[in-house]
Structures are given as structure tokens and as C-alpha cells.
Amino acid sequence: VSAVYQELETMRIAQYAVGLPCYICGEGNSRDEELCRHCHAPLALAHQAAVQKVTPQMLGVVGPAGCGKTVLLGMLLDLLSRQADDLQVLARGAFSISLQQSVVSHLARCEFPPKTPSEPDRWNWVHAQVKAPSRKGLELIVPDMSGESLVEEINHPNSCPVVRSFLEKTHGSLMLIDAGRLDQGDNEPDFFAMKVLSFLCELHGRSPQRKLDLPVAMVFTKADQCESAFEDATQFAQKQTPGLWQLCQQRLSKFRFFASGVVGACAFTYNRTGKQVVPLRIEPRGIVEPFRWLVSEMKPGRR
Ligand SMILES: Nc1nc2c(ncn2[C@@H]2O[C@H](COP(=O)(O)OP(=O)(O)O)[C@@H](O)[C@H]2O)c(=O)[nH]1
Ligand SMILES: [Mg+2]
Ligand SMILES: [Zn+2]
């Protein structure tokens, strides 16, 4: 005969009564928890929001695995936290620095950062204050989500609830599209972007007849591999992502195309795990522009 020990449910209910609602999914948590037990978002977000006057807004960074979300986001934060420019970000909480630190330290060693884990409890989240001439007192929450989780949630609703809870609350989105793949004749990035855009419209309760007013910056990443995206991102979109281009016209009222790249040159090495890409020169281009546009388009205090 084996004994079964079971936690008393009433204990949990007692904890909820004095507990902390998660800032992302709204579920109750005990105060000493670090991550939300329902969606794995850091509870520090809720602690910080509770003592702040300004309600933070959510910015979604979406795209399939490997399209360059982690690198772009880390680089963006690094550029904006150092520059004495009119646009600046200030990390709130130590956890908000991890992403930037990981990306920058890997690039400095001529490596790309490792793949983002698909488990939400291992993602990096950023909570930052943004100083911009176009917006006073903007606080942003940005998770570095994994592409796999986004696909999972789109294909199997509620399999990764944090993706849904978060994207429902977004005030703006950065949609990343791999220009390197498009340039090689692969149309998968076009299909993926269309799928994500339709998902965003559904989440924000838009029927096909009504346009979504959420600003979406479409960024062609790895444009260092195809200069034509840098020359004219809009023309590149019309030519290389005709499906997405059409859908944007029909479903969005605020969108713009951009191109970005973080490296000047790459080399390739081969080892046990296969082909490795080695960044040779770090030359960020077009990283800040999409963000600057989004910040100026995001309306204060909506949703
Ligand atoms: N040439 C080039 N390659 C990039 C760039 N950004 C990312 N990559 C490549 O794309 C891979 C995936 O990037 P990552 O940011 O981890 O993608 P994520 O899965 O969307 O977060 C990296 O390991 C690099 O090989 C870029 O700006 N230029
Ligand atoms: Mg990633
Ligand atoms: Zn939660």
C-alpha cells in the first residue's frame, strides 16, 4: 500500500486571496513566486506595475523561429540604452537586462546567441521606460517569445496561453520576415506572416470588414544578405511577399515596411551539429527605425 500525499486545496485558495494577479494573464499567484504559475510571465511585471503611475503597454515581436527576433531585440535595446539620442530606453528591473546582455556578449565573441527555448518559463522579458519626443512617459513590456510557441498557439489554441494573453493586449507589433530566405526563392516567410497577421486580427476581434488599427511594423530581417530590401522595403514587399502585401492593405490601417541587418558579413563553419553561421562584422542597420515609427504610432492608454 502506498501513501498518497495531497496538498490541501484550501491552502491554495487562501494564498490567492492575498495573492498577486499576473500582469499578463490576470491569474492569481502567491506573492513569493517568481514566475506566474499559469503563463510563466515574470511576476516582477505585476510588482512594478503596482507601484507605477503609468500603465505599461505591450509590444509584440513576432515571426517564425530563426527569423532574427532575439538578435534584433537585443541589438535594439543595446543601441537605445547607450545612445544619448532623442530616443532612449531605460531597463526596469535586473531581469530586463538579460536579453541585451546575452545578445551583445555572444556577438562580441563572434557568435550568434543560442536559440530561444520553446518553454515560456525560459524566455527573457523586458520592461523598460521609453523616452521619445513623440510620446511622454511610455512604459513597455516586451517578451522575447519563441517562434515555435507562436506557431503552436496559432495551430492549437490554448496550447501556449501566454502567447494569446500577451498578444491580445498588445498596443503595437514588430513582425519580422526573413529577407534572406525570400531572396532564395522561399515563400514560406510570406505565408507565415499572413498567418500571424490574421491571428492578430482575430485576437483583437476584427472581422474581415473592419481594419485593425494596431500599428504593425513589418521588418525584413537579414537584409545584409539582400541589398534590394534596404533600397526600397515597400517595393521589396510588393515583389517578394505579395500575399502579405495584399492582406496588409485589406486588414490594417497602420503598417509600414522596413529592412534591417545586424552584420556586415558572415562566414560559415561546419562541426558536429552542422553548418554554423559566424558573424564577422557587427554593423547594425535599420534596427531603430521600425521601433521609432511604432512608438510614434502607438496610442497612449488604449486597450
Ligand atoms: N545575416 C544575418 N543573419 C542573421 C541576422 N540576425 C539573425 N541572423 C541569423 O538568424 C539566426 C536566428 O536568429 P535569432 O535572433 O535567434 O532568431 P529568432 O529565432 O527569431 O529569435 C541567427 O543564429 C543567425 O544565424 C542578421 O541581421 N543578418
Ligand atoms: Mg529567439
Ligand atoms: Zn500569468
pLDDT in tens, 255-284: 999 999 999 878 888 888 788 888 888 999
pLDDT above 70 (res 8): no
Please give the distance, rounded to the nearest whole angstrom, from the Cα atom of residue 107 to the centre of ligand 2: 14
Q: Could you identify the atom of ligand 1 that is nearest to the CA of residue 112?
A: 23
**Count of CB atoms within 10 A of residue 233's CB?**
23
pLDDT band for 14, please (50, 70, 90 cuts).
low
User: What residues have their beta carbon closer than 5 A to ion ligand 2?
Assistant: 69-70, 116
Ligand 1 in reach of 68 Cβ (< 6 A): yes
Spatial strand order in the sheet of 255-259: 88-91, 125-132, 135-143, 57-62, 170-178, 216-221, 255-259
Residue 301 pLDDT exceeds 90: no
- Look at residue 12 and tell me whether its pLDDT is greater than 70: no
Q: How far apart are CA 196 and CA 1, in angstroms?
A: 52
DSSP run (H or E) holding 89: strand 88-91
Distance CA 173, CA 252 (A): 12
CB 141 within 8 A of CB 48: no
Q: Is 70 a pocket residue for ligand 1 (Cβ < 6 Å)?
A: yes
Please tell me the distance from the alpha carbon of residue 64 to that of residue 151, in angstroms, as a whole number: 7
Tell me the three cell numbers of residue 126: 523586458
In this structure, which amino acid lies at residue 302? Answer: R
Distance between Cα 94 and ligand 2 center (Å): 20
Mention every residue, 6+ apart, whose C-beta is less than 8 A from residue 94: none
Atom of ligand 1 at shortest distance to CA of 144?
A: 21
Over range 218-245, report the average pLDDT.
97
Q: Which of the 8 DSSP states describes residue 265?
A: E
Locate the ligand 1 atom nearest the alpha carbon of residue 63 and give its number: 20
**Quick one: pLDDT at residue 190?**
97
Phi, psi of 151 (to 5 degrees): -60, -45
In short, whether 282's Cβ falls inside 6 Å of ligand 1 is no
**Amino acid, single-letter form, for residue 224:** D
Q: Please report the pLDDT score of residue 303 as a whole number.
A: 46
Question: Measuring CA to CA, which residue among 108, 293, 115, 121 is closest to residue 218?
Answer: 293
pLDDT band, residue 57 (cuts 50/70/90): very high
Q: Which mutation among 181, 222, 225 tests ligand 1's pocket best, with the greatest number of atoms within 8 A of CB?
A: 222
DSSP category for residue 299: P
Q: How far is the CA of 149 from the centre of ligand 2 (A)?
A: 11
pLDDT in tens, 176-193: 999 999 999 999 999 999
Q: Which atom of ligand 1 is nearest to the CA of 260?
A: 27
Q: Is the dihedral of CA 284, 288, 289, 291 positive or negative?
A: positive
Rounded to the nearest integer, the mean pLDDT of the chain is 90
Find the range with the poorest average confidence among 106-115, 147-156, 236-245, 293-302: 293-302
**Mean per-residue pLDDT, 62-83:** 96
Q: Whose CA is nearest to atom 11 of ligand 1?
A: 66
